[in-house]
Structure 1
């Protein structure tokens, strides 16, 4: 694989450090699952803890970069050109129920475009990352979007509320970041969802793009209510046809 940038290295280290807490907390959740109160307060706590570790690590390395994160909101620093976009636990509801399908997501936005993205699934120990013009990788192997071109042979992912049942083979996994990473890796053939937050999908955008996928136009200055349709180029027009009123 190509050598990775210093920034991506910082992102990976922050993720690895934070994931230790996440793995430990996930172990605790399985015990809390049976308590009457349930683990919801505990999860908020995990979210905050994980985010704090990530921000501390990123700040140590890049004290001047701005930050957009799920729990903390926006923190503009001296360097407004470079912004970290962080989702400490994407797939919180899975995490809450002891379902091992969630991820840490970190992206770097520089001059109005995402130039680095990292999605890390700590439980399966799967790391997906991409950098602008450097390709997309899964655990250090180069990845590409799928090459299927018949809708019936495909599997798509979506989330949230769907107004009407799309006439497509699809799954709802409850983790937007991993849905995007799986499209990049060719596991899913495409992903569509509305009402997303920027931190859910920022890292996924560059992963899909660098893996050869196509996406609708996304306004990166808008943190909320984002709509996304991502897929391989081979299936995109057929997918858009099926989703024409999405």
Structure 2
């Protein structure tokens, strides 16, 4: 188990490491190299990904030697089992980073028995540090944040993760129907560069909702891409479920993701259940 004092320690160290990893990413921008092509030619890892991850893994091992680690590029992953597991994306938005866009971040989460208890998001280019810990208020640069109080769809803004060529045709047809439904119900329908930013926008009250259609056949985000954003929304007073209205468990994001301020959640669920 863990105490409130433990949570504060986890939070302080996570925030510190995220900022330091952000400095590494900024330093590597002038010497970036592609080190690995993954399943697709545009899905890549760079020397910056590996440098940031190496720093985070080594630092977490030093601070919490009994904890396990699950990281995008695999360094430190699977070396031990523990009720506490750190979930790391050392550079979320690698393609944007490579193209000199500011849309990237360091993502750190902590689970206890597969339940999220901490999330940290640091955006080095604009020096935004989002932080959420179970039982405590979510913050942005140490200032409390909360979800929007808007309860009317026609005055709400929603971010939608758009489809790509990998989506099966059957699911594409269903997604277009969902998109059609929400387009005529919401004030504005937008799409951001990355899922974590969309989740953080919901948490800080800048938008009212975010949806990410997924299935077992097509699930673009990985758990480390969204975990810190999910707890961010929840600890800011919002709600996150799958498309069936169930809380996301055991890292299963193959049934879609809906994040909202909670006030419009039930109405939004009706729009995606087609």
| Band of TM-score, shorter chain | 0.7 to 0.9
* Structure 1: stretches of 5+ with no match in the other structure: 33-39
Aligned to 1:219: 249
Query: 2 CA distance for matches of 1:240 and 1:232?
Result: 13
Give the alignment partner of residue 134 of structure 2, picking from 132, 135, 140.
132
> C-alpha separation between the residues in 2 aligned to 1:50 and 1:74?
13
For 1:54 and 1:158, the matched residues in 2 are separated by: 31
The aligned counterpart of 1:189 is 208
Correspondence 1:108-127 to 2 at 5 A:
108-127=110-129
Aligned-pair distance for 1:231?
A: 0.2
Q: Counterparts in 2 of 1:57-68, with a 5 A limit? A: 57-68=59-70
Looking at structure 2, the residues matched to 230 and 74 of structure 1 have their Cα atoms a distance apart, in angstroms, of 30
Q: Which moved more, 1:76-85 or 1:95-104?
A: 76-85
**Matching of residues 51-130 of structure 1 within 5 Å:** 51-72=53-74, 75-130=77-132
Alignment TM-score, normalising by the size of structure 1? 0.86
- Corresponding residue for residue 195 of structure 2: 176
Gaps of 5+ in 2: 35-41, 164-171, 242-246
Matching residue of 1:243: 272
The secondary structure found in structure 1 opposite 2:264 is helix
Q: Structure 1 runs of 4+ off > 6 angstroms? A: none
Kindly tell me the number of residue pairs found equivalent between the two proteins: 234
Q: CA deviation at 1:152?
A: 2.6
Describe the superposition over 1:113-134 as per-residue Cα deviations: whole angstroms up to 9, x where unpaired: 1111101111110011111111
2:223 pairs with 173, 187, 198, which one?
198
TM-score by length of 2: 0.77
**Root mean square deviation of aligned Cα:** 2.5
Q: Indicate conservation of the 8 Å contact 1:198/1:220, yes or no.
A: no
